[in-house]
Structure 1
Amino acid sequence: MSNVTSNHTTHRELVASRLANGIWIYAGAILLLIGTVGNSLVLAVVVRSNLRKLTTSLYLIVLAVVDTAILYNGLMRYWIKEITGTDIRMASVSSCKVQTFFAYFLVQFEAWILVCVAFERMIAVFHPHRAKVIFTKRFAAIQITFTGLVLMVINLHFFWTHTLMHGSCLLSDTKFTYFADNIWKWLDFVLSSLGPFVLMVSFNVAIISRLIYLKYAKNRTTDVVSKRLNTMTAILITISFVFFLTTAPISFFSRRERHREEAAESDEEWAIISIVAYVNNAINFILYCLSGPCFRRELAKMLKIEKYLSKIHPVENNDTGNEGR
């Protein structure tokens, strides 16, 4: 009986391992391709089009760069590992520290850039004239730089708490165990998921509530309200909710499964929720196209397909809404 149970367990682990391997190789390759092309197009559209005049465009540029960096630092690591059997994190002591540092820092940085742009859009909806004075490109650059520096300092501990031992990137000393298990995992959860989500939801609810108020309480027409809900605001609301839906599962799993990630039975689950998280970094270009008519127009101009887009969405050519603030 024990042999039958053992064989069943072995078969189950083998199936889970093969499924995880397939997910990393094929889904990973697709996301890397989509993310690379999509984020490159985002940069090209924002830098070359009228969108570059907007303060929010600086945030979009940073997000495209960070999303690409996350894909290549994180997803590419797993893809190479499944293809070659080599884990770049374990290549040397330096790669252990640097790759782990960026794995956490980049995810947190992306989350707080979204918080910054959400706050800016909220102020723009409530106080459009004041926002034009306060939220300049210089202010955005300072805000992005300050956010990045603070998060870098918070994550610097990886350079002394982690090292390469016995072929694995592990805590360099047992004295860091309490910090890793009881402080850092909660701090990272707040910085990378819970905190940004709560703030983004709050700002987005405020934005939507304000727009509804302008429509009904002030007796504004639907067209006017639609124009106020411009490209950047629509994009923000979309990517904010997609961000939480794709990143929340891995945040919960990482806390619950901290000591089980090496187990064969968790390979399949870890691969699925990780790929879902990387979807967030790969599809922002698609979200911009779906939620931003101005972004679609600028993309069509760049690709010289305006006439085809006008046949599909003829209304967009007459959209004269304020694309700034």
Structure 2
Amino acid sequence: MRETTMFRENITENITITTSIIPDIGGDPPRRPTLQEILMAYSEYVWAVNLGTYVFPIIIGLGTIGNVLSFLIMIRRTMIITPTCFYMAILAISDTIILYVDCLRKWVFLMYGEDAWNINTAACRAFYYLSYSSFHYSVWIIVAMTTERFFAIRYPLKFLTVGSMRKTKLACLIILICVLLLNCQFTWSVKITEKGTCVPEENYSNFHKDVMPWIDAVFYSFLPFVILITFNVLIICSFRKAYRRQKTLHGNPTSHKSASHNRSSINHRMTAMLLSVTFTFIIMTAPKTILLCIRNEVFMFLKYNTYDFQEIALYTLITRIADLCIYTNHAINFFLYCVSGQRFRKEMKQLFLCRRSRSASLSLYSSKCPPSSRYQTMQTVSRGSYENDNGLESYHTMRTVSSNLGSNNNENCQDVNEQNERENSL
């Protein structure tokens, strides 16, 4: 049996069959079938293989496109200035690393029988380190994002003094350092054996078998579960109190069109995006968490080190489904933002429409304006207002000041530059 069983690993990948399974009957010993050949006789294992073969690449493809788009939208000038959007941009990077370091590796193993962890000792240690660190980093970014949302809603005035982008970046850095320190033992505690498999060093065998799975489960699942559920309940309660208070002060809030109501509406929509992410994480990681808690009691081959192939096949299928849920969680945030975030959808439209209109306007400008009458623009900051996700007004719009560098201006050039002014002001 494999020497170590991690929280997110399939136990059947490196199981070897002992010589007692197929007795010698004299003469040349028959070729012993591999474990995979034996398990392919069971429908549960066939389903597990097919799910990994056909669903993994779909998750990787959709997740990559979604995470890249999420990152590009979150780093836009009107989005990145808010802590929540900065967290979501970092989350998109971390989720993409998970899909390529862990999900893609398993798909390649299913398709070609080659595991990137088994290339050499350096690859073995690097993949372990990156895989576990990226999983832990993603979930704790969600925890930090949820905590920030709660304090922004519950204590908005105090949050003005402590909730800055500098401290948000510092929080991301601290989480990264803690995650790297938590998993740094992978840089020396695993190795490649003579058979070419990545296994723990002899001195760390018991640690990887008995301790590390629970450390992983606590920091990836149990502790984040408790924190996220607690803060989500507090956020929902805070919104209910704010709704009742607003209804008492202004009557029907849906008909109130004041600036304070508009800020509150933006705040609610931003928080709805976060709640969709956190509840999706809780739901999608629950199967793996439950499996970890009950597997030694339900699957006897894990407890007594026996070879019940029917049970192994069933366990492989259940584990594969749980893995698919986890990888899906790290691939669908973009779609959650689209469904729950009106502001996100607006920024996504502007991301594509503005680039198209800019290229069209530049082409029109070059064709209609003579070289002697082109404009040189200078952008200066002027007072304008928008509402960020904390419901607070900020001033950060741009005004274009144009100076004529030629003496022969025509109406076409004026029209083109007026259009450029409107686009720059966005």
CA deviation string 1:57-113 (max 9, x = no partner): 210111000000000001100111122211111111111111111221111111111
Q: Pick one of 196, 221, 227 that aligns with 2:265.
A: 227
List gaps (5 residues or longer) in structure 2.
1-36, 255-260, 355-385, 392-426
Query: Quick one: which amino acid aligns to residue 227 of structure 1?
Result: S
Query: 1:311 aligns to what?
Result: none
List gaps (5 residues or longer) in structure 1.
1-8, 306-319
Query: 1:299 aligns to what?
Result: 348
Deviation of the 1:321 alpha carbon: 6.7
Is 1:253 aligned to residue 298 of structure 2? no
Partner Cα distance (1:323, 1:11) in 2 = 53
Q: Is the 8 A contact 1:227 1:322 kept in 2?
A: no
Partner Cα distance (2:77, 2:180) in 1 = 32
Alpha carbons of structure 1 residues 197 and 222: separation in structure 2 relative to 1, 3 Å:
farther
- Quick one: higher RCO (CA 8 Å, sep 6+), 1 or 2? 1
Partner Cα distance (2:344, 2:330) in 1 = 18
Deviation of the 1:291 alpha carbon: 0.9
Query: Quick one: which amino acid aligns to residue 162 of structure 1?
Result: V
Query: Quick one: which amino acid aligns to residue 91 of structure 1?
Result: I
Q: Pick one of 65, 76, 84 that aligns with 2:104.
A: 76
Q: Pick one of 125, 129, 134 that aligns with 1:97.
A: 125
Q: Is the 8 A contact 1:125 1:228 kept in 2?
A: no
Query: 2:73 aligns to what?
Result: 45
Query: Quick one: which amino acid aligns to residue 295 of structure 1?
Result: F
Query: 2:374 aligns to what?
Result: none
Query: 2:333 aligns to what?
Result: 284
Query: 1:236 aligns to what?
Result: 274
Q: Pick one of 223, 228, 244 that aligns with 1:195.
A: 223
Partner Cα distance (1:229, 1:106) in 2 = 29
Query: 1:125 aligns to what?
Result: 153
Is 1:269 aligned to residue 307 of structure 2? no
Query: Quick one: which amino acid aligns to residue 144 of structure 1?
Result: C
The DSSP-based 3-state class of the residue aligned with 1:48 is coil
Query: Quick one: which amino acid aligns to residue 248 of structure 1?
Result: A
Q: Pick one of 150, 153, 159 that aligns with 2:178.
A: 150
How many pairs align?
302
Q: Does 67-76 or 259-268 show the bigger shift?
A: 259-268
Query: Quick one: which amino acid aligns to residue 157 of structure 2?
Result: H
Q: Does 115-124 or 241-250 show the bigger shift?
A: 241-250
Query: 1:140 aligns to what?
Result: 168
The DSSP-based 3-state class of the residue aligned with 2:191 is strand
Q: Which has the larger radius of gyration?
A: 2
Query: 1:168 aligns to what?
Result: 197
Q: Is the 8 A contact 2:277 2:336 kept in 1?
A: yes
Query: 1:324 aligns to what?
Result: 390
Partner Cα distance (1:159, 1:171) in 2 = 11
Partner Cα distance (1:254, 1:93) in 2 = 28
Query: What TM-score, normalized to structure 2?
Result: 0.66
Q: Is the 8 A contact 2:140 2:175 kept in 1?
A: yes
The DSSP-based 3-state class of the residue aligned with 1:304 is helix
Query: What TM-score, normalized to structure 1?
Result: 0.85
Q: Does 155-164 or 210-219 show the bigger shift?
A: 210-219
Percent identical residues: 25
Q: CA RMSD in A?
A: 2.5
CA deviation string 1:180-210 (max 9, x = no partner): 2333222211100111111111111111101
